[in-house]
Structure 1
Amino acid sequence: MIAATLIVTACGVEHSAPAPSSTAAPTSYVGTWTSATSSGSTANSCSNFEWRVTNQTATMISGIFFARCAGNLTASGSAWGDLSSGNPSTLPVRATAGATGPGVTACDVSLSGTATMYGDMIRIPYSGTTCVGPVSGTEVLQRH
């Protein structure tokens, strides 16, 4: 009986749980992300985001970006996020786009912020510039 107890005890020590890994499992961002709510942009904000993430590597994600900014500007361009921080839940993001609108034939739009992942949602507080002035706000995108 004592021998059986020692064997069971020894086996329990040998099969202890492995230490948690400090590296999180990779997250896939590939897909289409759009604004969770549809709202109009004001003169100082952007809305109706759509980010089609088409490429993901170990250090970055990238894709095509669309938004409505500064009231009536329709923007389209590129957006990318930096995955090199080691935290898959937060990532610096940037977008550059060309825009057009009533009376505007060419307008540069540049946005940046730090996105936070919540499952199939991304919250992006952003700030940036357009040819008609600065923009800022927070947009929540949902994967579709």
Structure 2
Amino acid sequence: MKKVIEADEGFTIFAPNEAAFDALGEKKRLQLGDIRNAEVSEKIASYDVVFEPVTADQLYNSSGIVTEGGVVLAERTVSGGFFGVGGKEDGGVTLNGAKVVKSLEFADATKTGIVHEVDGFISPSILWRYADQRE
């Protein structure tokens, strides 16, 4: 975390909210805390960090973002319609399916930090395959 805060140009953090952790289920929450999975947990968390400020508008107007973990797909959210047909963009954005719930921006004289609350984990779900199983 210190490395993120000390980034020269600022930073962006995608912070999974309580609903995101609830949706993981008990098994995956235990895997995150298991010392055997420290490397996997670190990789999952690396998708939540960008070493420059990325605003909600920038997310909305992009098709993806490059995080410390890798590329994350960004899509505009749509409301209404039937099976995705006839819906209207509602101004929201998802990252690998996790919706950005709200954003907080703060700045000092030298840099800007942005925290986006998300309702899911934005890392690829395949990373869980590498987590040791609890018995």
TM-score, normalization by structure 2? 0.35
Larger Rg: 1
Specify which structure has the higher proportion of strand: 1
- By relative contact order (CA 8 Å, sep 6+), the higher-ranking structure is 2
TM-score, normalization by structure 1? 0.34
Specify which structure has the higher proportion of helix: 2
